[in-house]
């Protein structure tokens, strides 16, 4: 009896403990939701399921493991420990549910492949590529030149002409170089220490005018103007430097026989036009104002000697001409024209050969 009472007491305690931890509720749940893959072990005399029981604080719900959707974290089925019965084979084994690989899901927008800019060659707005000086140029000193002085020379093959220009105080200089129609010149301006202020300028085509305008001369001294052709070929040119207070002589360009050009003459300016003449030729030059300007003209030979009279025979608005004028030297000639009263004028100039 004492043993029986002890057994009953133990069962009573067991029932109380089971009630306390809600195992009857678990039994009911197990009756409702069958354990996957097996039948719960039940004692006949006591309706209590023996077998794996979860901790009361976290009752595992044996539901079908939801298939994780892409992007969600795969929730693993809780493992129930302290199992006394043989390991049941689940009806739907959790076949090592591997976290599905997201289908190329990238965070944020797919990066658009950027085309690495391929150094598209841009058209650098340098007027004309600066030519490289021919390495075998022969330096030929042309002596001194002063402001407002026009000098004309012929470059020999592979020659580099150097002119010296002296200033006593800092100033600004404008250097103009006109060439014959077959000559393309390159001009450099050096300071007294032979450091380039303007290096290898070649902006105008053959027959055009290279013009350095308002270049600052920072100190007193001897500056150098150097001239050569782009390819070392021979050719004629005319050069004139002007300082800030000089009268405005403007080198306009080179004419061909049978050509006419229209230009505008500013007040207090004179224009120089050039042409390449041959000894024995006879030429005609005419300047015609398109307004009431009173124009004049003069002709200079390749040594810059004036070989014509000062032509100003007409009144304001009338043309001035030099007709059938003979040339005695081959080389570059210069036509100087202006307005007698130093006024502005629009005009046309023409050159022909008899």
Ranges assigned E (strand) in 156-305: 159-167, 171-179, 185-190, 196-201, 209-217, 221-229, 235-243, 248-254, 259-265, 269-277, 282-289, 295-300
Q: Domain total for the chain?
A: 3
Domain boundary among 182, 217, 246: 246
133: containing domain: 128-246
Q: CB-based contacts of 349: which residues, under 8 Å, 6+ apart?
A: 255, 260, 261, 263, 273, 285, 286, 287, 288, 335, 337
Structure confidence at residue 249 (pLDDT): 98
* Domain final residue, candidates 214, 246, 278: 246
Is the same domain home to 236 and 135?
yes
In a domain, 298, yes or no: yes
Q: Which residues contact 20 (CB under 8 A, 6 or more apart)?
A: none
Kindly state whether residues 156 and 262 are assigned to the same domain: no
* Digit-coded pLDDT (tens) for 180-234: 999 999 999 999 999 999 999 999 999 999 999 999 999 999 999 999 999 999 9
Write out residues in the chain with pLDDT < 70, as ranges: 1-135
Q: What pLDDT does residue 43 have? A: 42
The residues with which 248 forms a beta bridge, in sequence order, are 269
- Determine the pLDDT at residue 33: 38
The pLDDT of residue 134? 54
| Cβ atoms of 293 and 265 closer than 8 Å | yes
Q: Does some domain include residue 240?
A: yes
Do 332 and 290 touch, CB atoms closer than 8 A? no
Q: Kindly state whether residues 194 and 239 are assigned to the same domain.
A: yes
Is the domain of 232 the same as that of 161?
yes
In a domain, 119, yes or no: no
pLDDT at 346: 98
Note whether 259 and 229 are same-domain residues: no
Distance CA 14, CA 12 (A): 5
Q: Is position 149 within any domain?
A: yes
Domain check: are 240 and 251 in the same one?
no
Q: Look at residue 241 in the predicted model and tell me its pLDDT.
A: 98
Last residue of a domain, which of 11, 30, 50?
50
pTM over 0.75: no
- The CATH number of the domain holding residue 327 is 2.60.120.380
Identify whether residues 263 and 277 lie together within a single domain: yes
């Amino acid at each position: 009896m004492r043993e029986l009472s002890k057994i009953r007491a133990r069962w009573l305690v067991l029932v109380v403990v089971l009630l306390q931890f809600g195992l009857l509720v678990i039994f009911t749940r197990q009756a409702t939701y069958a354990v996957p893959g097996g039948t719960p072990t039940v004692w006949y005399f006591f309706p209590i399921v023996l077998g794996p029981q979860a901790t009361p604080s976290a009752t595992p719900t044996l539901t079908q493991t939801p298939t994780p959707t892409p992007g969600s974290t795969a929730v693993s089925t809780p493992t129930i420990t302290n199992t006394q019965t043989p390991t049941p084979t689940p009806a739907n084994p959790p076949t090592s549910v591997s976290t599905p690989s997201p289908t190329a899901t990238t965070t944020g927008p797919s990066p658009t492949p950027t085309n690495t800019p391929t150094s598209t060659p841009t058209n650098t707005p340098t007027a004309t590529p600066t030519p490289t000086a021919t390495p075998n140029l022969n330096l030929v000193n042309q002596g001194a030149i002063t402001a407002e002085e026009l000098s004309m020379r012929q470059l020999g093959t592979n020659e580099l002409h150097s002119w010296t220009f002296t200033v006593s105080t800092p100033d600004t200089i404008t250097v103009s170089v006109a060439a014959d129609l077959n000559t393309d010149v390159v001009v450099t301006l050096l300071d007294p220490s032979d450091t380039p202020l303007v290096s290898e300028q070649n902006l105008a085509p053959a027959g055009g005018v290279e013009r350095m305008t308002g270049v600052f001369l920072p100190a007193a001294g001897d500056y150098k103007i150097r001239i050569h052709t782009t390819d070392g070929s021979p050719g004629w040119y005319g050069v004139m430097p002007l300082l800030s207070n000089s009268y405005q002589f403007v080198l306009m360009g080179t004419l061909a026989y049978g050509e006419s050009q229209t230009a505008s003459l500013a007040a207090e300016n004179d224009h120089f036009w050039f042409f390449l003449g041959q000894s024995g030729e006879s030429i005609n030059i005419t300047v015609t104002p398109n307004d009431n300007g009173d124009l004049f003209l003069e002709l200079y030979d390749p040594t810059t000697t004036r070989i014509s009279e000062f032509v100003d025979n007409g009144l304001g608005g009338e043309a001035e001409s030099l007709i059938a004028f003979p040339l005695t030297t081959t080389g570059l000639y210069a036509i100087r024209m202006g307005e007698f009263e130093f006024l502005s004028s629009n005009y046309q100039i023409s050159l022909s050969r008899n």
